[in-house]
Amino acid sequence: MKKILICGAGGFIGGHLVSHFTKNTDFKIVCADIKPLNFWFQLNDQLKNYSCDLKDFDNALEVTQDVDYIYNFACNMGGMGFIENNKAECMLSVLVNTNLLRAAHQNKCKKYFFSSSACVYNASKQNDTFIKGLKESDAYPADPEDGYGWEKLFSERMCRHFMEDYGIEVRVARYHNIYGPYGTYDGGREKAPAALCRKVIKAKNNKDNKIEVWGDGKQTRTFLYIDDCIEGTLRLFESDYSDPVNIGSDEQVSINQMIEIIESISGTEKLERIYQLDKPKGVRGRSSNNDLVKKVLNWSFKTKLKDGLKKTYDWIYVETNKRGSNLGKYTKS
């Protein structure tokens, strides 16, 4: 029986991966996250769960003991509002990846997965709306998102060199805006789909006809539903491909278009947009080119944005009405 360590298991993607593996009795699962257990988005009490800071090498050594495979989702991150205003904190996540790779080498772990980001891509290629999809080669020459993007790009290189020097099999996914239920929807770390769902729900509940939008709403992105993300991640991990690869959708929309979709889902009339041009808004356009992932993994996203947003909206609607705006423990039944 293989032993799998999932770091960042109390977070969004990590929590969904744990949920997937708990349905498969062929693996022994170990979970680690810096958050106290009562703040994990999904928690399985039957598993070995560590609440610890992996920036401490002794903790990394402990959680990787006798582990065969490591999935590293652990990092300090959030939506654009968080990463633009917390660059130093985002950069410190490099210590997590460093310690986990060192511990994996020392404890003779066989395979290592690193969750990277579309924020590694060269900013000069993202100055227009509705751009062509970013290919994996577009990360160089390097000019990534300041702070968070540099940490991800550096950590990608570290994974590569640990593979070259020490023989650890590595897999690197560049995620493009993953969204879905059982994640952050308020508090400052939420990403655009969850934030906009929450704002539309609030407007509906308060019988308000206004919504605040960061920027002018014309900035574009592609968004990938969490179920597709998990499938793509597993295919990559089980493959023999070791270079970074995009895991994303190529269904590119503007923020204004996404608001229209959420309005349709909610059944509300069109809300008045209050554009906040002084708020963080990131690059003008970002889209995933999926040619490589289709070729090497035979994978493509399945969930249309409207369908994924419907599931996300419905979950946030229940949570906001049940808990108000408080974040806390969301245990998937």
Active site residues: 148
Radius of gyration of the chain (CA): 19
Nearest Cα neighbor of 118 from 146, 144, 94, 99 is: 144
Calculate the alpha carbon distances from 268 to 180, 191, 262, 265, 308 in Å: 21, 22, 9, 8, 18
Tokens (6 digits) for 314: 């419905």
Distance separating the N- and C-terminal Cα atoms of the chain: 26
Nearest Cα neighbor of 118 from 98, 99, 107, 133 is: 133
Tokens (6 digits) for 84: 């633009």
- CA–CA distance, 101 with 52 (Å, rounded to integer): 17
**Amino acid letter at 56?**
D
Q: Are 51 and 34 in contact (CB under 8 A)?
A: yes
